[in-house]
Structure 1
Amino acid sequence: MASSLMKRLAALFGASCAALLLAVPAAAPGHADRAVLESPADQCPTDPNYPGNIGFDGRHYRVHVPAGVPTGAPLVVAIHGGYDSPEGVEAEWGWNALADQHKFIVVYPRGTKKECQTDGSPGWGWNADAADVTHIKNVVDAVATQYGVNRKRVHLTGHSNGGQMASRAACTAPEVFASGAVYAPAPPPTGCDPARAVSWGVFASASDPIVLEPIAYGHVMYWSWENRPCQNEQPGGGSDVKDSRHWDCASGTEVLWRVYNGGSHTWPTGARRTEMMNRMWQLFQANPRP
């Protein structure tokens, strides 16, 4: 399903901003109700003899399971950006509160590449390669098995390099992931040919200095192509937006695009964050895996 045009476009985006993809400040550490196989290697010591990563695939992940969550609940896989961590995004993004409200599970996997900050705080990035996809699939399988997740309702979200990772996971493993929605994603994947159409949402900020609006829109072009034809363009509505559109696609899927006025590269806060995440959750609810 992939076209040479889309490959060239994605390559162009990648060349134009590759040096900027992971330039995201580390988030403040958070605290989860459960930490799964948490590793001492998640610290960033200066000791050259530090023993290296241990744990699940050499990494850890964090999972939030709301009280009273039923068997067969959906699972949202929240993928941090570069120079960030599962603890950081869990504390800042707001998925746990939304999960408590709607009774779904959230898992926060950890990237491959250690990218420690100058103050020693931990940060990680994604290669967005086959090994990273396999790791995320393994995390999903472990969580789904332990908590009885509905396998047709496993959804992806991510930020920046994590948005790029989410698109890579969806395009290479559509048999696992139902749909996805990302904020300020780095360039879209290349060399993927998903076996089925996947509903996708892309959110961005007009004043993002790192992932520029055309780069984020590359994901809209990519998923519109993979869901083709996507027609019946409709305005997304709402206030405080520069651009907001929605397309219905022939396969019964959908693609949406929303750009907020101003803003920055960091995950939105306040009312904007609430509005964005509600739209993401609505997309997930409407698009289980066939």
Structure 2
Amino acid sequence: MSIASTAHAATRCDIGAPGTTARIPIGDSGRPMLVHLPRGYDRGEALPIVFLLHGSTATGAEMLRESGLEATADTHGFILAAPDAGIPVGRGFVWNIPGVPTVTGTIPTKDDPDDVAYLTTALDWLAAEGCADDARAYVTGLSGGGRMTSWLGCVAADRFAAIAPVVGLRAGNPDADDPSRPDPATCAPAAPMPVIAFAGDADKTNPIQGGGAGYWHYTMHAAEQRWAALNGCTAAPTTRWAADGVYEERYTGCRDGADVAARITVGGGHAWVVDNDAMWAFLSAHRRADRL
């Protein structure tokens, strides 16, 4: 990908129309993505942006419908971008997480599209167009998109201010010698990464108790604890009821305020088990510039 532009070179965002979602060509990447501009956007301001990553074999359009985040973007005034992953599978796509098998059991090769490069390039382009504030860029995603969200936290902490994996929190690849724990060599973020994760305790696909497919293995708690260690969290973890049937585990006292939180829905399955307003409240409390 080659996009010859400088961040914030433009002063007016001229893509799409406020209050609508449009498929926008991303520079000369050859890969457009769905972009929703919030209702009432005056185009003269660079807004926060949330990248919404679909689950394995799905699409960005399906993820928009399932998440309900377009309405949340209208309410809170952020841009929502819903890309398709780079590897076609069935009726949809899967994300390229190096060294980790996709749902087909195949590990991506060097010939597969680089999704990290695509997403960071898209952020650069949307910032250069005057639309997105790249200091307030966030990522969330469901299932395989949640695992890709986690991967971006590992390898692009200098680009995104906070992440919110949904039924997909990871902290690096499973260790080859002991898959019950994450391999620390595969997740070494350049800066503390605030994390809020969502899951259901009845999820049979990516069980919080661990097990499952080759890309999963270790427990959600192991992932939380690894992110807390990476972020230098010093306070003892706490657990509280965040809402009816939803409890939150939280690690605080972290470097640069990079808390790690996990909200678990009792009886929740492999689905978008998210309070969108609570997710946005967590994400929007962080700016990338605060941590660099």
What TM-score, normalized to structure 1? 0.74
- Which blocks of at least 5 consecutive residues in structure 2 are unaligned? 1-19, 99-112, 174-185, 210-218
Query: 1:93 and 1:234 mapped to 2: Cα distance?
Result: 28
Deviation of 1:232 (Å): 4.5
Does structure 1 retain, via aligned residues, the 8 Å contact 2:228–2:254? no
Query: 2:75 and 2:159 mapped to 1: Cα distance?
Result: 25
1:112 aligns with 2:94: no
Q: How many residues of Structure 1 are paired with residues of Structure 2 in the alignment?
A: 232
Q: Which residue of structure 1 aligns with residue 41 of structure 2?
A: 69
1:161 aligns with 2:130: no
CA offsets per residue over residues 69-111 of structure 1, 9 Å max, x none?
A: 2513100011111011011011120111000001110101211
Query: 2:79 and 2:50 mapped to 1: Cα distance?
Result: 6
- The one-letter code of the counterpart of 2:38 is P
Partner secondary structure for residue 64 of structure 2: helix
Query: 1:148 and 1:212 mapped to 2: Cα distance?
Result: 38
- Cα gap change, 1:179/1:279 in structure 2, threshold over 3 Å: closer, same or farther? same
What TM-score, normalized to structure 2? 0.73
Does structure 1 retain, via aligned residues, the 8 Å contact 2:144–2:168? yes
Partner secondary structure for residue 267 of structure 1: coil
Query: 1:58 and 1:229 mapped to 2: Cα distance?
Result: 41
Does structure 1 retain, via aligned residues, the 8 Å contact 2:120–2:159? yes
Q: Which residue of structure 2 aligns with residue 142 of structure 1?
A: 125
Partner secondary structure for residue 231 of structure 1: coil
Could you tell me which of 95, 106, 114 is aligned with 1:131? 114
- Cα gap change, 1:232/1:89 in structure 2, threshold over 3 Å: closer, same or farther? same
Runs of 4+ in 1 over 6 A off after TM superposition: none
Query: 1:158 and 1:170 mapped to 2: Cα distance?
Result: 12
Q: Which residue of structure 2 aligns with residue 253 of structure 1?
A: 258
Bigger CA drift: 222-231 or 94-103? Answer: 222-231
- Cα gap change, 1:59/1:179 in structure 2, threshold over 3 Å: closer, same or farther? same
Q: Which residue of structure 1 aligns with residue 102 of structure 2?
A: none
**Seq. identity, %:** 26
Does structure 1 retain, via aligned residues, the 8 Å contact 2:150–2:170? no
Query: 1:94 and 1:218 mapped to 2: Cα distance?
Result: 29
Could you tell me which of 132, 152, 155 is aligned with 1:172? 155
Query: 1:170 and 1:123 mapped to 2: Cα distance?
Result: 24
Does structure 1 retain, via aligned residues, the 8 Å contact 2:24–2:32? yes
The aligned runs of 1:79-90 (5 Å cut-off) are 79-90=53-64
- The one-letter code of the counterpart of 1:285 is S
The aligned runs of 1:1-290 (5 Å cut-off) are 33-37=21-25, 57-69=29-41, 71-116=45-90, 122-129=91-98, 131-185=114-168, 187-190=170-173, 191-214=186-209, 215-241=219-245, 243-251=247-255, 252-268=257-273, 273=274, 276-289=275-288, 290=290
- Which blocks of at least 5 consecutive residues in structure 1 are unaligned? 1-31, 39-54, 117-121
Instruction: Tell me the C-alpha RMSD between the 2 structures.
Output: 2.1
- The one-letter code of the counterpart of 1:265 is H
Does structure 1 retain, via aligned residues, the 8 Å contact 2:163–2:283? yes
